[in-house]
């Protein structure tokens, strides 16, 4: 992926101060449970949000050069690109895009959804409308998920911004309300559709950013598809449990995630991303 003179976003809360943040209370057990949930494709922020009261402190901004400054700069550029794209798309709908804040941290910090840790992976917190990411996740993508490359990392950020778009469109609130009336299996199915739509919206961003802030070639797209494929529920369950349990899916299969990202990338049309009513991906394996 090549940048075409893109700027860096100022909407970043940099908490990478030495030593990382600390979570006091809750105990190591909560983090272990959150890690297991993450590896199974679930949303660890929900586990962390439901922990007993915790006193949390966050790290100060980094002082001087940091070893992950290149990754931080890259993240700021991707965030800026998403701001430019979604501001334009919202304006075309006669709406204003409220830019989210992205929080960079090391090890642990606090969020509006509870404690955040490196184990939780990148996530969007609808309570404070911020994206949280420990930059070490980029290394995990390359090493554990075998999905290295700039565009694979950009896809992850764009996916979380996709959740912010869902929040602004009211989709996330509607799904949360529906979840109150449904059982676990039905909740999981709604979660899958929510995640697939975020994948689609990540593709929409890439469609519009191409030629504006970024230049992509086939290898870049393949890197993002590898990332989407690597973090599908079916693949993660097979690796961690040795079996696939569709009723426990919360993010969709690898093939579904790839399908919806590619559709967003090809069309760039947000009206074509109704993953809740469409079943065009139903037979994908």
Q: What is the residue extent of each domain of the chain?
A: 2-272
Residues 4-52 have pLDDT tens digits of 777 899 999 999 974 444 333 333 333 444 444 444 445 555 544 444 3
Q: What is the pLDDT of residue 182?
A: 78
Q: Regarding predicted confidence, which is higher, 132 or 66? A: 132
Residues 231-249 have pLDDT tens digits of 544 344 344 445 433 444 4
| Mean of per-residue pLDDT scores for the chain | 77
In the numeric block, which tokens belong to residue 85? 């794209």
Give one DSSP letter per residue of 33-77, joined into a string: HHHHHHHTT--HHHHHHTSPP-EEE-PPPP-S--TTHHHHHHHHH
| Secondary structure percentages of the chain, helix, strand, coil, to 5 | 55, 15, 35
Picking from 141, 140, 108, the residue whose alpha carbon sits closest to that of residue 31 is 108
| Whole-structure pTM value | 0.79
> Which sign does the torsion angle of CA 172, 176, 177, 183 carry?
positive
Residues 108-167 have pLDDT tens digits of 899 998 888 877 778 889 999 999 998 888 887 777 666 667 888 898 899 999 999 999
Q: What is the pLDDT of residue 229?
A: 61
């Amino acid at each position: 992926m090549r940048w075409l003179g893109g700027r860096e976003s100022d909407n970043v809360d940099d908490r990478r101060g030495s030593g990382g943040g600390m979570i006091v209370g809750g105990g190591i057990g909560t983090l272990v449970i959150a890690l297991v949930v993450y590896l199974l494709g679930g949303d660890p922020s929900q586990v962390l949000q439901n922990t007993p009261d915790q006193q949390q402190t966050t790290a100060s901004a980094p002082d001087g050069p940091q070893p992950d400054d290149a990754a931080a700069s890259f993240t700021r550029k991707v965030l800026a690109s998403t701001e430019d794209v979604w501001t334009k798309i919202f304006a075309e709908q006669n709406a204003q895009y409220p830019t989210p804040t992205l929080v960079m941290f090391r090890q642990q910090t606090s969020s509006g959804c509870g404690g955040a840790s490196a184990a939780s992976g990148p996530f969007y917190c609808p309570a404070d409308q911020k994206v949280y990411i420990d930059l070490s996740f980029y290394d995990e993508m390359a090493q554990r998920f075998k999905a290295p490359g700039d565009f694979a990392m950009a896809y992850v950020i764009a996916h979380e911004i996709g959740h912010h778009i869902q929040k602004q469109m009211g989709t996330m609130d509607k799904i949360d309300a529906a979840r109150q009336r449904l059982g676990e299996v039905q909740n999981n199915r709604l979660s899958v559709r929510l995640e697939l739509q975020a994948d689609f919206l990540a593709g929409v961003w890439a469609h519009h950013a191409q030629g504006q802030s970024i230049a992509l070639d086939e290898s870049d797209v393949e890197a993002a598809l590898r990332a989407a494929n690597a973090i599908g529920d079916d693949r993660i369950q097979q690796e961690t449990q040795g079996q696939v349990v569709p009723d426990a899916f919360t993010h969709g299969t690898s093939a579904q995630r790839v399908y919806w990202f590619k559709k967003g990338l090809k069309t760039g049309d947000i009206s074509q991303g109704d993953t809740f009513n469409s079943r065009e991906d139903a037979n994908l394996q």
